[in-house]
Amino acid sequence: MLNDTAAPALGVGMVGYAFMGAAHSQGWRTVGRVFDLPLAPVMSAVCGRDPAAVREAADRLGWAAAETDWRSLLARDDVQLVDICTPGSSHAEIAVAALEAGKHVLCEKPLANTVAEAEAMADAARRARERGQRAMVGFNYRRVPALALARRMVAEGRLGTLRHVRVHYLQDWLVDPAFPLAWRLQRDQAGSGALGDLGAHAIDLAQHLTGEYLTGVSAQTETFVTERPLPGGPDGAADGRLGTVTVDDAAVFNGRLGSGALASFEVSRVAAGRKNALTVELNGTLGSLSFDLERLNELHFHDETLDAAEAGFRRVLVTEDSHPYLEAWWPPGHGLGYEHTFTHQARDLLHAIATGTDPSPSFEDGLRVQRVLAAVEESAAKNSVHTPVLN
Ligand code: SOE
């Protein structure tokens, strides 16, 4: 796809083209038409194992060529940046090889399936940085304008000293026990369940919004539906056999941030009626902020410094030119959606590459999240629940 800016071209090659691949493609297609960029992304090639399916995806999503082996994608001269949208089990191998081949890398979250893999990726990124390459992990919700504004307000001290951080991320696509045993339900491919899929976002946001890190966690996880239909029939249809679910359906955990603020998290893929319900609340000594992804153009702010008669949560409509990312989009009030976070992600990565700065979130940030995910699983496995003495 041609880009009509005068900026030098940067060829992008993407591995994987399912839901996340489609979302990333949308970002690459739109970014140069909305933002003034220092580099013009060119959608050189997409890669997947099925030749017919990847060719169809290339045409549908706007990629010039299709490859069936990610190593061939890495070998292409028209690919300078590799965008990894595959299941977590292949992130480390592809990302490390791409960095060693001299490419910049964007990798979907969670960074990896294990801490060891994430460490190897962060090491490879550190070595590549010395050669001028950049590596970013795709925590796209950092790029919702209202959440970027929230981070700015916390950094400006508008909330005072933080006391509480509360992040819930709830979906319901697994509530039906007849939902098949897809890759996201298999530990060897996905690493973990709702925890890695949704909890990774929640942990990253808690740390990113506050600028602090979790120092310890206490957790419980649960797999409510332990067996699901195997998609062994034609075209992935169920064939009557059941397979074991090897990841969690839900996790609840809490922890303490560096400053001493208490953080609590709840993530689930079996919360009936909740489709993509990410909510965040921060409470500080001078005020509170509240965000709901289902109303993503809004941020609610309670200013504790106001007279009590007038204080209380007020809605800030985050669509002004002065709000993060909004200067390039529509007039005030016209609002953005989920897909725009991927456009913003592409924009920020291109700026980092062009200016030679570390992208945010870096692989190092991804590794930090991975360590928390591992700590949650460890705590849940120990099941160190203190039973109160009743009566
Ligand atoms: C599936 O649960 C999923 O696509 C996640 O993997 C994404 O990261 C999230 O943004 C939406 O839900």
Query: For the chain, how many structural domains are there in total?
Result: 2
Residue 177: helix, strand or coil by DSSP? coil
Residue 274: helix, strand or coil by DSSP? coil
- Report if residue 384 sits inside a domain: yes
Residues of the chain with pLDDT > 70, as a percent, come to: 96
Q: Are 322 and 260 in the same domain?
A: yes
Evaluate if residue 232 carries a pLDDT over 90.
no
Better-scored residue on pLDDT, 236 or 263 = 263
The band of 1, judged by pLDDT with boundaries at 50, 70 and 90, is very low
Question: What is the position in ligand 1's atom list of the atom closest to the CA of 197?
Answer: 6
- Report if residue 4 sits inside a domain: no
Question: H/E element holding 299?
Answer: strand 298-303
- Report if residue 119 sits inside a domain: yes
Of 110, 140, 170, the residue that ends a domain is 140
Q: What is the chain's mean pLDDT, rounded?
A: 96
Task: Return all residues near 308 (Cβ < 8 A) that are at least 6 apart.
Answer: none
Of 98, 123, 140, the residue that ends a domain is 140
Question: What is the position in ligand 1's atom list of the atom closest to the CA of 20?
Answer: 4
Residue 1: helix, strand or coil by DSSP? coil
d(CA 338, CA 266): 21
- Report if residue 3 sits inside a domain: no
Q: Residue range 67-93: average pLDDT?
A: 98
| Integer CA distances (angstroms), 387 to 160, 218, 220, 264, 390, in order | 35, 15, 14, 20, 9
Evaluate if residue 360 carries a pLDDT over 70.
yes
Pairing, β 104-108 against β 65-67: unpaired
- The answer to whether 23 and 55 are in contact (CB under 8 A) is no
Q: Name 242's bridge partners.
A: 229
Omega within 30 of 0 (cis) for the link into 361: yes
The amino acid at residue 160 is G
Query: What pLDDT, on the 0 to 100 scale, is given for residue 2?
Result: 45
Q: Residue range 211-229: average pLDDT?
A: 97
Place of tokens 């955990």: 253
358, 367, 349, 360: which is closest to 82 by C-alpha? 349
Q: Which of 276, 340, 344 to probe ligand 1 with, by most ligand atoms within 8 A of CB?
A: 276
Q: Are 298 and 164 in the same domain?
A: yes
Evaluate if residue 293 carries a pLDDT over 50.
yes
CATH classification at residue 169: 3.30.360.10
DSSP state of 385: P
- Asked if residue 197 has its Cβ within 6 Å of ligand 1, the reply is yes
Q: Are 123 and 209 in the same domain?
A: no
- Asked if residue 171 has its Cβ within 6 Å of ligand 1, the reply is yes
- Report if residue 2 sits inside a domain: no
d(CA 279, CA 292): 4
Q: Are 129 and 145 in the same domain?
A: no
Better-scored residue on pLDDT, 277 or 233 = 277
Q: Are 109 and 148 in the same domain?
A: no
Q: Are 94 and 152 in the same domain?
A: no
pLDDT tens for each residue of 366-379: 999 999 999 999 99
Q: Are 285 and 266 in the same domain?
A: yes
Lowest-confidence segment of 23-32, 122-131, 171-180, 379-388 by average pLDDT:
379-388
**Burial grade of 6 (CB within 10 A; 0-12, 13-18, 19 or more):** exposed
Of 109, 140, 171, the residue that ends a domain is 140
d(CA 47, CA 57): 9
φ/ψ of 96, rounded to 5, equals -65, -45
**Burial grade of 219 (CB within 10 A; 0-12, 13-18, 19 or more):** buried
Question: What is the position in ligand 1's atom list of the atom closest to the CA of 338?
Answer: 10
Provide the residue count of the chain.
391
Query: What pLDDT, on the 0 to 100 scale, is given for residue 238?
Result: 75
- Report if residue 132 sits inside a domain: yes
Q: Which of 20, 169, 183 to probe ligand 1 with, by most ligand atoms within 8 A of CB?
A: 20
- The answer to whether 1 and 65 are in contact (CB under 8 A) is no
Protein residue with least CA distance to atom 8, ligand 1: 197
Protein residue with least CA distance to atom 11, ligand 1: 276
Query: What pLDDT, on the 0 to 100 scale, is given for residue 388?
Result: 66
The band of 391, judged by pLDDT with boundaries at 50, 70 and 90, is low
The band of 233, judged by pLDDT with boundaries at 50, 70 and 90, is confident
Q: Are 135 and 155 in the same domain?
A: no
Evaluate if residue 63 carries a pLDDT over 90.
yes
Residues of the chain with pLDDT > 90, as a percent, come to: 93
- Asked if residue 385 has its Cβ within 6 Å of ligand 1, the reply is no
- Report if residue 195 sits inside a domain: yes
Residue 188: helix, strand or coil by DSSP? helix
Q: Residue range 317-334: average pLDDT?
A: 98
The band of 146, judged by pLDDT with boundaries at 50, 70 and 90, is very high
Q: Are 164 and 129 in the same domain?
A: no
Buried (b) or exposed (e) across 65-101, using 16+ Cβ within 10 A? bbbeebeebbebeebbbbbbbbbbbbbbbbbbbbbeb
- Report if residue 1 sits inside a domain: no
Q: Are 146 and 135 in the same domain?
A: no
Q: Residue range 312-317: average pLDDT?
A: 97
CATH classification at residue 93: 3.40.50.720
Q: Are 332 and 279 in the same domain?
A: yes
Q: Which structural domain, as residue segments, surrounds residue 36? A: 9-140
d(CA 2, CA 152): 35
Q: Are 315 and 376 in the same domain?
A: yes
